Amino acid sequence: MEDTLCWAEVDLGALVANLAHLRRRIGHESLILVAKADGYGHGACTVATAAQGCGVDRVAVATFHEAWELRRSGVHSRILVLGPFLEEEAEFGLPHGVEFTLVSKEHARILERAARRSSIPARCHLKVDTGLNRLGMRPDEALELLSELEGSRFVHWRGCMTHIAASEGGNAPSALRQVALFDDFVARARRRNYLVGVELHVANSSGVLSGLSPRYDACRVGIAAFGVSPHPSLETAELRPVLSVRTRVVQLKEIAMGGRVGYDGTWTAMRKTRLAVLPWGYADGMLWRDTHSGSVLIRGQRAPLVGRISMDLATVDVTDIAGVELGERVTLLGADGTDRIRAEEIARTLGTIPHAILCSLGKRVRRITIPAEVEGVPQARLERQALSG
């Protein structure tokens, strides 16, 4: 029954429009849609299938399980697994035709052994660490690996990448230093006839929005494809949010001035107050805080969240919104009337990043897909779909 109480709408028309806008920005580069973490909470299979239908030929995920779920759902595009792997995962991934990211010499040796045993050559992308100091090899280590694997029948190079550390992308001097290190590595490798004809990809969403593309052969776009800015300096009205999250009022009550709300009474009413209780808590994706200064939209108006967020419930002050009724639709993320609550706004309120807001959406929140060809479907029809399941 919780499907009737909270749901998320995934607007594929907005996704397609965002991909078209990003394509214009990247020029000749091809676009790799990053759909890890269940497509940033939007539903990986849904967004990958939609992107595939509008010409995106590659999808990137973090794990082999995510790749397998895409293959099982019918996604036939190239799939790049960005994360590291253990030996048993390598053997699992080879028959599914995924592309591997090699982040160390040890991983390369694991993969070559698995490829030899299965007689299936591995398609690989070399990850060079130019300053993020997370996954990847230092340039000299990467050159040594290329030398060790020269002529291997079981490791086929498909790409070479690095990862920009600055969330503002090319607007940060450190990003330009990373690009220079990567370019120097590629030049050194190609002087030795390594990586000739191999695709290079550097820019992520921040890189694309800050002008690091077009520069190479491809870019990896995640959160920007979903209409959300990765950094405040890169916000643009040209990207349309894909995800909206709704719930309903399940109880209305009045409390007197001085009444306290929620666990430990962290909010006190300064007047006679009308409260609406929402069936939405941190188990559904409402990030927990001692005090919450955010708001929701009811009848196109802002209603402030009051009291501590619980596992399954939140409370809002609707004193100033006339006529709120039991069952009233509430917008936690998205538009209602002329106002909109964006993931970037919620992230600023909570002191986090919008990626965390999108990825926190819980499993019991039903996703409703709005097909691109019927964009503008009446809200009443969406609510009937949520109610009917």
Q: Based on the residue annotation, tell me whether 282 is a catalytic residue of this protein.
A: no
Relative to beta strand 243-248, strand 218-221 is: unpaired
Q: Among residues 36, 40, 127, 216, which one is catalytic?
A: 36
Q: What is the dihedral sign for C-alpha 24, 26, 31, 34?
A: negative
Q: CA nearest 83: which of 133, 36, 129? A: 36
**From residue 382, how far is each of 17, 245, 246, 300, 323 by CA, in Å?**
21, 12, 11, 18, 23
8 Å CB contact between 274 and 254: yes
8 Å CB contact between 101 and 123: no
Residue entry with tokens 């550390």: 165
Q: Based on the residue annotation, tell me whether 253 is a catalytic residue of this protein.
A: no
Tokens of 329: 């639709």
Q: Where are the alpha helices (DSSP H) in the chain?
A: 12-26, 36-40, 44-53, 64-72, 87-93, 105-118, 139-148, 173-191, 205-209, 343-350, 354-359, 379-388
C-alpha 58/C-alpha 268 separation (Å) is 52
Q: What is the CA radius of gyration of the chain?
A: 24
C-alpha 111/C-alpha 123 separation (Å) is 10
Q: Among residues 40, 105, 127, 263, which one is catalytic?
A: 263
Interhelix angle 139-148/105-118, nearest 10 degrees = 30
**Total length of the chain:** 389
C-alpha 157/C-alpha 195 separation (Å) is 7
**Which of the residues are catalytic?**
36, 263
